[in-house]
Amino acid sequence: MMSEKEKAQRGELYDANYDAELIQEREVAKTLCYTYNQLPPASKQEREKLLRQLLGVTGQSFLVEQPFYCDYGYNIEIGENFYSNVNCVILDCAKVSFGDNVFIAPNCGFYTAGHPLDVERRNKGLEYAYPIRVGNNVWIGANTVVLPGVTIGDNTVIGAGSVVTKDIPANVVAVGNPCRVVKELQ
């Protein structure tokens, strides 16, 4: 029989609210986030060490401003020269990968989790999780929300306040709710 974690990794409905293993893993991540968020900004080495402990993969050079929040941490992969401004939230029930030279403005959220429309299954604590992929050289504007299963292509700019519900190709500017391409970049 598959564990709830294995179901989540396969993109199937799984029990996130009542499964002891997942609850314990979230508690570990949230404790690390709490500790990280309490550190003085000048404690760069200690901050980096905590993030390397929390995140699944990191580049050599990165900066995540405080506060930062995530569900598990181990499902997050960040490339070289990653920068995230304040109040970044990554609900990493599935893999969330960021390429090199990604810049994230304040108050952005990356949410891999979704819930059934059927009230009975939703009330049982079931959810699904689909990966999010952000390419290289991507800039994401303030107050942007990226939803489950979205891929954002290389060299793309996502305008502030966007709600990204579907894949966005490479080399474009995309904005709005729902986010859509408004300009191609050269």
Let me know if 54 is a catalytic residue. Answer: no
Single out the catalytic residue among 26, 30, 115, 133: 115
Angle at 100 between CA 94 and CA 104, to 5 degrees: 70
Count other Cβ atoms within 10 Å, centred on residue 73: 22
Specify the amino acid at residue 88: C
What's the token pair of residue 152? 């954002």
Measured between its terminal Cα atoms, the distance across the chain in Å is: 50
What's the token pair of residue 104? 């994230």
Angle in degrees, 0-180, between the axes of helices 20-38 and 44-54, rounded to the nearest 10: 170
In this structure, are residues 136 and 155 in contact, taking their beta carbons and an 8 Å threshold? yes
Give the active site residues: 115
